[in-house]
Amino acid sequence: MRLFSAVYPSPESLTHLDGALGGVGGPAVADPGTGLRWVPREQRHVTLAFHGEVPDGAVDGYVDALGDAVADVGPFDLALAGSGTFSGRTLWVGVGGDVDALRSLARRVDDAAADAGVSGTDRVAGRPHLTVARASASVVGADRARERRRRRRGEPEQEPASPFGRWAHALAVYRGPGWTVGEVLVVASRLGEGRSGGPAHEVVARAALPGHLD
């Protein structure tokens, strides 16, 4: 199965983010149009490591190794903050708070995967983030083509040639409420089986950080 390990924001943090997205995106939040897709609220997460295809028989070994790896890790606080895009095709919201603890946790997750013979790609060593929306290559290409035509006509340059440029700019100053990270979730992702042709996610295991209170 296709696996990743992640931490998830609290429901309060996700509700606050929904309000910010509604204020910026307006009607497009409910109806983004052709070529744009919002990540469902329940799937919004901060990836610690992506494992790719993992044989079913190797999952239990990885989960055991993960539990050992986080056995001495205490809970820590994060908050969603800032925004940007990746290549104009992905709108993301950044992560603030104890980012050093998050990066340390990601390294432990990566080590646990290696110990279990499972691949693992650390996803927070550079820019920890939560993906909010994605655009198709055709939508981004059309926006960039319009911007090139404007430049050839000598018109003033517009906002970045991306369907998410305005939203990322508006959300750059976004600051959400903090939440406490108390567990790592191991999640199976089945491509094309979710809403609007996106992936379907299923939590297959949870590794609690000691001292976390439900």
> Measured between alpha carbons, how far is 42 from 196 in angstroms, rounded to an integer?
15
Q: Is the dihedral of CA 36, 39, 45, 49 positive or negative?
A: negative
Beta strand pairing call for 175-181 and 183-190:
unpaired
Which listed CATH number (3.40.50.2300, 3.90.1140.10, 3.90.1150.10, 3.40.50.720) goes with 2-208? 3.90.1140.10
Catalytic residues: 45, 129
For residue 142, what pLDDT is reported?
46
Residue 123: both structure tokens together: 């996803």
> Measured between alpha carbons, how far is 186 from 118 in angstroms, rounded to an integer?
13
Per-residue pLDDT 10s for the chain (214 aa) are 899 999 999 999 999 999 998 888 666 565 555 567 889 999 999 999 999 999 999 999 999 999 999 999 999 999 999 999 988 788 999 999 999 999 999 999 999 999 999 988 777 777 899 999 888 655 444 444 455 555 565 655 555 446 788 889 899 999 999 999 999 999 999 987 877 667 899 999 999 998 654 4
SS3 213: coil
Residue 128: both structure tokens together: 């920890």
> Measured between alpha carbons, how far is 47 from 184 in angstroms, rounded to an integer?
10
Domain extents in the chain = 2-208
> Measured between alpha carbons, how far is 123 from 103 in angstroms, rounded to an integer?
9
Return phi, psi of residue 7, to 5°: -115, 150
* pLDDT tens digits along 130-182: 999 888 655 444 444 455 555 565 655 555 446 788 889 899 999 999 999 99
Altogether, the residues listed in the chain come to a count of 214
For residue 129, what pLDDT is reported?
95
